[in-house]
Amino acid sequence: MNIGTAARQSGLPAKTIRYYEEIGLLTADRAPNGYRDYSTDDIHRLRFVQRARSLGFTVEECRQLLSLYSDRERASADVKAIAQEKLAEVDRKIAELTGLRKTLGHLVSCCHGDDRPECPIIDGLAGRAPH
């Protein structure tokens, strides 16, 4: 199938599919006319990558996961290790965002939001402790 059909079936833009080919994440066959020719297996791999990317896996992590996906002799422990690393990263980001939310919430709650020029938000951003 051509790239337009592959894009529709995978849910990815053609530009993204071309990029994945350019970086070696996917290799499509070529039809006799030189156009890309995608197989059903290619669509499955594209969907796999799309789902992995939506869970926050990097392109390189997707490359590792695709390799494991293709390896019928793989150990599930290898897959789990990659997923556990990603989960730990997500937990770190949540903790960071929770801290940011707490700090910003404090600054917002300290600001009167009126016509006065005093602003605890500005003071906080400038490194001065808000009152």
| Per-residue model confidence as pLDDT tens digits over 30-87 | 888 888 899 999 999 999 999 999 999 999 999 999 999 999 999 999 999 999 999 9
Is the separation of the CB atoms in 59 and 25 below 8 Å? yes
Helix H segments across the chain?
Answer: 3-10, 14-22, 40-54, 59-70, 76-110, 120-125
- Confidence grade of residue 11 (pLDDT, cut at 50, 70, 90): very high
> Of 51, 48, 22, 50, whose CA–CA distance to 36 is shortest?
22
The amino acid present at 65, given as its one-letter code, is L
Region 85-96: mean pLDDT is 97
Identify the band that residue 128 occupies on the pLDDT scale cut at 50, 70 and 90: confident
Q: Indicate the average pLDDT of the chain.
A: 93
In this model, does residue 131 exceed pLDDT 60?
no
pLDDT computed for residue 58 by the predictor: 95
pTM for this model (two decimals):
0.78
In 3D, which of 28, 70, 30 has the Cα closest to residue 48? 70
